[in-house]
Amino acid sequence: MIIFRHLVIVIGVFGAALSVSAGLVWLERRLLALWQDRYGPNRVGHFGLLQVVADGIKMFFKEDWIPPFADRPVFVIAPMLLLVTVLMPFAVIGFAPEIVVADLNIGLLFFLAMSALSVYGIVLGGWASNNKYALLGAVRAAAQMLSYEVFMGLSLMGVVILAGSFNLSEIVDAQKGMWNCIPQFLGLVLFTIAGFAETHRMPFDLPEAEAELVAGYHTEYSGMKFGLFFVGEYLGVTMISAMIVTLFFGGWLGPFLPPVAWFALKTFIFICGFILVRAALPRPRYDQLMGYAWKVLLPLALLNILVTGAIVLAVH
Amino acid sequence: MLSILKGIWIILLHTFRKRETIAYPEEKPYLPPRYRGRIILSRDPDGGERCVACYLCAAACPVDCIALQAAEDEHGRRYPEFFRINFSRCILCGFCEEACPTYAIQLTPDYEYAEYNRQSLVYEKEDLLISGPGKYPDYNFYKIAGMTISGKGKGEAENEDPPVDIRSLMP
């Protein structure tokens, strides 16, 4: 019976994550259109909802071409690697009390490790493409990931200090009195910025940078392999939004509605935030991106740990 | 930093703006009468063809999509024997309309003439000729020009004096 329950949770989380990220393709296009005073896809089905299905069908019937100059096995593995590493953190996120695939006591570390690994998908994809644009995108991804991963982990340490645990469920429970977004506001800002960089979303989409690098690391990808990179990006958005909600906005906590509904609602708001930022902000130059991470955000993250630790020590 | 937040806030306010998109097939945009769309050949107010087959439109056409052959009828009026516009080549620049000395060739605000068959985009004279005068309702070239046609001799055109007998000594 417990195994059965577990299986349902695993399949449910898997299905929910994938279908949400597929739906995000539609949501993003509609919301971007709304903020640019357009309509976006509104022809296929009600409000263009079936656009996702149409795009999926199109993607499956495209020629899945591997360039002759590419490093074949790595080229094939890279998108899978990205998708798997982005999917893995969903295993430790608690959607409601008891609804979690693996209630790891080092859930937060697991999330950080997996999101750090996700850069391999991009770097290997860019390298295996044997294309200068793809390689440049991959190099950018590696450098960006390196600089943002550092303070991403550090920015979460304040949350860990407050909760006294790496377990995500316990972190959520520790927010019953007050959500972490108030005492850890700086941590929230830093983690959100790092999350944008982590998912290569608009202000930090330099690995892709279609204005300069054609399509960056996935220039040579077509068909469903490109689709995997695409879905991987939206999965990343969902994952980071879910993490923001879990760590800073009390996860499933909330009155009246069932816990899962609260979690979904909060996550949805942050996903919309991701899209809003994409609609609003231009891409910075590459040296600005790196300098910003090392000179501004890293010291701020360290300061956050210092102050939080000092206060917690003083109170106890 | 503040400007970034301000930018995001402004974009968020766009949620409540009117959408600029015109949902085309259901909703047609307003096109001004001088819009450069499908080309037609007009007639003068009396119903005669305005085109005098001067070839100026064909010469002006940058993509050479106009072909015609001049002819003259029994009244002395010039007209095109055939007049052919290949709309698969036409770039709707309107140079032919500007070149036309008789307002015969005109561009209209119609743009919905897509075809499945490329050959169907080659319009012959009977496809191009309309029954009205188009944008210039009162203009009649042969009533204004000094050219003699049957029914209108020398000096009988509008704004034209009768011919002077240069051998006469009378003032």
Q: Where are the alpha helices (DSSP H) in chain A?
A: 2-35, 51-61, 72-87, 107-129, 132-163, 168-173, 185-198, 223-248, 259-280, 286-291, 298-315
Which percentage of chain B shows pLDDT scores above 90? 35
pLDDT at B105: 92
When scoring B14, B17, B20, B22 by the number of chain A Cβ atoms within 10 A, the one with the most, hence best to mutate, is B14
Please check the confidence at residue B116 and state whether its pLDDT lies above 90. yes
Among the listed ranges A178-192, A199-213, A284-298, B17-31, which one has the minimum average pLDDT value?
Answer: A199-213
State the smallest CA–CA distance between residue B26 and chain A in angstroms: 12
Q: What is the percentage of chain A residues whose pLDDT exceeds 90?
A: 0
Contact A38 B19 (CB under 8 A): yes
Whole-angstrom distance, CA of residue A154 vs CA of residue A294: 13
Using the predicted structure, report yes or no on whether residue B62 has a pLDDT greater than 90: yes
Check CB contact under 8 Å for B4 and A35.
no
Q: Is the pTM of this model over 0.90?
A: no
pLDDT digits (tens, 9 = 90+) for B74-91: 888 889 999 999 999 999
Of A38, A279, A281, the CB nearest to B20: A38
Asked if A186 is an interface residue toward chain B (Cβ–Cβ < 8 A), one would say: no
In the beta sheet, which residues pair with residue B43?
A: B49
Q: Residue A195 has what pLDDT? A: 87
Q: Take residue A205 and report the two structure tokens written for it.
A: 């989409």
- Residue B116 distance to chain A (closest CA, Å): 23
> What average pLDDT score do residues A240-263 get?
83
Residues 6+ away with beta carbon under 8 Å from B132: B42, B43
| Per-residue pLDDT at A266 exceeds 90 | no
| Each residue's pLDDT tens digit, B101-115 | 999 999 999 888 889
DSSP conformational letter for A166: S
pLDDT at residue A206 greater than cutoff 80 = no
Question: Which backbone phi and psi does A104 adopt, to 5 degrees?
Answer: -65, 145
pLDDT band at A23, cuts 50/70/90?
A: confident
**Closest approach of B31 to chain A, Cα-based (Å):** 20
Rounded mean pLDDT, A49-74 = 85
H or E stretch including B70? strand B66-72
The tens digit of pLDDT for each residue in B137-160 reads 888 888 888 888 887 888 788 888
Partners of B122 in beta bridges: B86
Work out the mean pLDDT of chain A and round it to a whole number.
84
Task: Tokens for A157, please give them.
Answer: 């340490």
State what percent of residues in chain A have pLDDT above 70: 100
pLDDT > 80? residue A209: no
Mean pLDDT of A216-236: 84
How confident is the model at residue B98, as a pLDDT? 92
Length of chain A: 316
Asked if the Cβ–Cβ distance from A35 to B7 is below 8 Å, we say no
* pLDDT above 90 (res A40): no
Q: What is the mean pLDDT of residues B62-68?
A: 92
* Residue reference for tokens 């012959």: B124
Give the integer Cα–Cα distance in Å for A284 and A273. Answer: 19
Cα A161 from Cα A155, distance rounded (Å):
11
Task: Give every CB contact of residue A284 below 8 A, 6+ residues apart in sequence.
Answer: A203, A204, A292
pLDDT tops 90 at residue A25: no
Q: In this predicted structure, what is the pLDDT of residue A107?
A: 83
Interface test with B, best of A37, A288, A297 (most B CBs within 10 A): A37
pLDDT tens by residue, A96-147 = 777 777 778 888 888 888 888 888 888 888 888 888 888 888 888 888 888 8
Mark yes or no for CB contact A281/B10 under 8 Å: no
What is the residue type of A199? T
Q: Is A296 on the interface with B (CB under 8 A)?
A: no
Is the pLDDT at A13 greater than 90? The verdict is no
Nearest to A172 by CA among A249, A272, A88: A249
Measure the CA–CA gap between B81 and B95, rounded to whole angstroms.
22
Give B15-51 pLDDT, tens digit per residue: 888 888 888 888 888 899 889 999 999 998 888 888 9
Query: Nearest by CB to B11, which of A33, A38, A276?
Result: A276
Reply yes or no on whether the pLDDT at A182 is more than 90: no
Query: Closest Cα of chain A to B37: distance in Å?
Result: 26
* Residue A253 identity (one-letter amino acid): L
- Token representation of residue A176: 């019953």
Assess contact for A201 and A230: CB atoms under 8 A.
Answer: no
pLDDT of the residue at A62: 86
Classify residue B62 by burial, with Cβ atoms within 10 Å: 0-12, 13-18, 19+.
Answer: exposed
Arithmetic mean of pLDDT, A177-204: 83
pLDDT of B41 reads 92
Q: Are B17 and A280 inside 8 Å of each other by CB?
A: no
**What are the structure tokens assigned to A127, written together?**
């390298």
Tokens of A120: 């391999």
User: Would you call B7 and A37 a contact, using CB atoms and an 8 Å cutoff?
Assistant: no
pLDDT of residue B56: 92
Residues 26-85 of A with CB under 8 A from B: 33-39
Residue A277 with chain B: CB contacts under 8 Å: 8
- Judged against a pLDDT cut of 80, whether residue A283 lies above it is answered with yes
- DSSP H helices, chain B, are 2-13, 56-60, 95-99, 125-128, 141-144
- Asked if A280 lies within 8 A of B21 by C-beta distance, the reply is no
Q: How confident is the model at residue B122 (pLDDT cuts 50, 70, 90)?
A: very high
pLDDT of residue B93: 92
Residue of A nearest to B23 (CA): A39
Average pLDDT value for chain B:
88
Check: complex ipTM more than 0.90: no
Q: Which of B10, B20, B23 is closest, CB to CB, to A37? A: B20
Q: B44 and B140 in contact (C-beta within 8 Å)?
A: yes
Give the model's pLDDT for residue B60: 92
Listing DSSP states for A108-161 in one string gives HHHHHHHHHHHHHHHHHHHHHHT-HHHHHHHHHHHHHHHHHHHHHHHHHHHHHH
Q: In the predicted model, is pLDDT for residue A251 greater than 80? A: no
pLDDT value, residue B144: 85
